[in-house]
A and B are shown apart, each in its own frame.
Chain A
Amino acid sequence: MRIFPFLLLAVLLSFSNGLTAQKKFERETRLRENDVPAAALSFIQATDPQERIRWYYEENLEGNSVEAKFKRESARYSVEFDTLGNIQDVEIEISPDELESSLKDEVDDNLTEQFTKYKWQKLQRQYTGSVTQLQSLLRGEQELSGLTIRYELELKGTKERHTALYEITFDEAGLITRQRQIIFKNANHLEY
Chain B
Amino acid sequence: MRITWNTRNLFGGLLLLLGVSLQGQSVSQFGTLPVVNLNIGLSNGWEVNTKWETRQILSTSVDGERLERGFDFSLSDHAVVLAKKVGLNSKVAAGYLLRFRDGDIINRSIQQFSVVQRLRNFRLAHRLASDQTFVQTEAVEFRLRYRIGTEFALNGQSADAEEFYLKLNNEYLASWQGTDFDFEIRAVPVLGYKFTDRNKLELGLDMRFDSFLTEDLRRRSWGIIAWYYKV
Chain A residues packing against B (C-beta within 8 Å) = 1-2, 4-5, 8-9, 12-13, 15-17, 27-30, 56, 156, 163-165, 184-192
Q: Which residues of B contact A13 (CB under 8 A)?
A: 40, 231
A2 engages B197 (CB within 8 Å): no
Question: Closest CB-CB distance, A28 to chain B, in whole Å?
Answer: 5
Q: Which residues of B contact A4 (CB under 8 A)?
A: 98
B167 engages A190 (CB within 8 Å): yes
Residues of B107-134 at the interface with A, using a CB-CB cut-off of 8 Å, are: 114, 116, 118, 123, 125, 127
Q: Which residues of A contact B116 (CB under 8 A)?
A: 184, 187, 190-191
Chain B residues packing against A (C-beta within 8 Å) = 37-43, 48-52, 78, 80-81, 83, 87-89, 91, 98, 100, 105, 114, 116, 118, 123, 125, 127, 149, 151, 155-161, 163, 167, 192, 197-198, 200, 202, 226, 228, 230-231
**Which 5 A-B pairs have CB atoms at the shortest separation, nearest pair first?**
A190-B125, A188-B39, A27-B160, A191-B114, A5-B78
Q: Which residues of B contact A30 (CB under 8 A)?
A: 155-156
Query: Are A5 and B202 CB-contacts (below 8 A) given A12-B40, A56-B156?
Result: no
Q: What is the bound-complex CA distance between A163 and B91, given in angstroms? A: 13
B88 engages A188 (CB within 8 Å): no
Instruction: For B149, give its contact among A1, A15, A190 (CB under 8 Å).
Output: A190
Query: Are A188 and B160 CB-contacts (below 8 A) given A5-B80, A29-B155?
Result: no
